[in-house]
């Protein structure tokens, strides 16, 4: 879809020439014209990005070990399942999937998974666990900017067929989020405000009273933000590479941002959960990674030829999901109801 067509869609829907960034991001990703609602599957080699379960089939096996240890009695629900690469690895019966892409839901249905487009469509009364891998960063954020001793937020200005940013007074809810999470007043970097993420999680809490949440994603804690070299942590992906400014090719690129895990931790603690925040690598090693890796290395030493090459590919994937400088450096947050 051309930018001009998407801009016209925004004009018709909002009947204004200025919309907040979180609305723009939501339309770019999830509207009828959005990036994730088109026919193409995004999380695969022929798509736009790969995540840990596509890199290693053992990522889900290790999460399955953790699930088994928790002894869940009712359903568990994955948020943003794609075509089910992670679900396929879990070996668990009572699985529910939330997936916005119709194409991906069709693939999941063929595999026998119970799928829904939205949380509110789920009919089950209880869900023990909500989990997701690289899904939080696609829940739209607002963007706060501290300038001349005041907080503003970014809006998107629609001018004919072009888009540009404009600063507007910050909404009270977003200002409250900044204060509640003790965000520093600094002109050195923008703030990705996660109020929509809070609303999404609160909806899960109110509707299902889940025992646990488990999420993996790239991000930071408050004290780490000044060490990030970029003023903005919003970015786009296309064809497995960093892409253009979010305004340059809307609805045709993945818009994402680094998650503030200090804020996610605060949310869960305010709502009565015990929270454990660690790296993906630490989670994997706590739940059977070393045994799987050592077994693979032993088998590798006993094979040759094509079989050894195949196993070597699996070992490379195992190393990648635990690499501190890559996927292994992502954060993992576990939240358990007190």
pLDDT in tens, 211-267: 999 999 999 999 999 998 899 999 998 874 776 689 988 888 889 999 999 999 999
Integer angstrom CA distances of residue 171 from 64, 175, 176, 230 = 41, 6, 9, 24
Enumerate the H helices of the chain as residue ranges: 3-14, 21-30, 52-55, 58-70, 85-90, 102-110, 172-180, 195-208, 261-270, 280-286, 289-302, 305-321
> What's the pLDDT at 43?
45
pLDDT digits (tens, 9 = 90+) for 183-207: 999 999 999 999 999 999 999 999 9
Question: How many CA within 13 A on the CB side of residue 154?
Answer: 23
Integer angstrom CA distances of residue 181 from 64, 228, 282, 296 = 32, 18, 25, 43
Both tokens of 234, joined, read 């919003």
- Asked whether 149 and 143 are in contact (CB, 8 A), the reply is no
pLDDT digits (tens, 9 = 90+) for 87-134: 999 988 889 999 988 888 998 999 999 999 999 999 888 999 999 999
| 3-state percent breakdown (helix, strand, coil) of the chain, nearest 5 | 40, 25, 35
Residue 151 φ/ψ, nearest 5 degrees:
-95, 135
Both tokens of 56, joined, read 């290693």
pLDDT digits (tens, 9 = 90+) for 38-68: 665 544 444 445 889 999 999 999 999 999 9
In the block, residue with structure tokens 């869940």:
72
């Amino acid at each position: 879809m051309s930018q001009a067509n998407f801009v016209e869609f925004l004009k018709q829907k909002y009947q204004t020439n200025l919309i907040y960034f979180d609305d723009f991001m939501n339309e770019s990703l999830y509207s009828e014209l959005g990036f994730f609602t088109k026919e193409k599957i995004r999380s695969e080699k022929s798509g736009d990005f790969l995540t840990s379960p596509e890199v290693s089939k053992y990522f889900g096996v290790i999460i399955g070990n953790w699930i088994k240890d928790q002894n869940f009695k009712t359903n568990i629900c994955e948020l943003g399942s794609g075509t089910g690469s992670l679900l396929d690895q879990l070996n668990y019966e009572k699985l529910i999937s939330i997936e916005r892409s119709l194409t991906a839901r069709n693939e999941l249905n063929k595999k026998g998974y119970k799928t829904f487009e939205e949380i509110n469509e789920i009919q089950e009364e209880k869900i023990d666990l909500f989990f997701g891998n690289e899904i939080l960063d696609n829940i739209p954020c607002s963007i706060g900017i501290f300038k001349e001793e005041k907080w503003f937020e970014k809006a998107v200005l629609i001018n004919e067929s072009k888009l540009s940013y404009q600063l507007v007074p910050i909404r009270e809810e977003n200002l409250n989020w900044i204060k509640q999470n003790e965000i520093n007043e600094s002109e050195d970097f923008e703030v990705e405000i996660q109020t929509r993420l809070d609303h999404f999680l609160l909806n899960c809490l109110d509707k299902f009273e889940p025992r646990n949440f488990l999420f993996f994603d790239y991000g930071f804690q408050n004290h780490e933000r000044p060490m990030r070299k970029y003023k903005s942590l919003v970015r786009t992906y296309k064809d497995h590479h960093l892409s253009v400014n979010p305004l340059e090719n809307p609805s045709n690129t993945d818009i994402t941002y680094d998650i503030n895990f200090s804020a996610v931790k605060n949310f869960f603690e305010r709502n009565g959960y015990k929270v454990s925040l660690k790296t993906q690598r630490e989670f994997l090693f706590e739940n059977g990674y070393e045994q799987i890796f050592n077994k693979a290395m032993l088998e590798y030493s006993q094979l040759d030829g094509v079989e050894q090459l195949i196993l070597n590919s699996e070992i490379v994937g195992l190393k990648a999901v635990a690499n501190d400088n890559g996927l292994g450096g992502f954060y993992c947050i576990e939240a358990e109801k007190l």
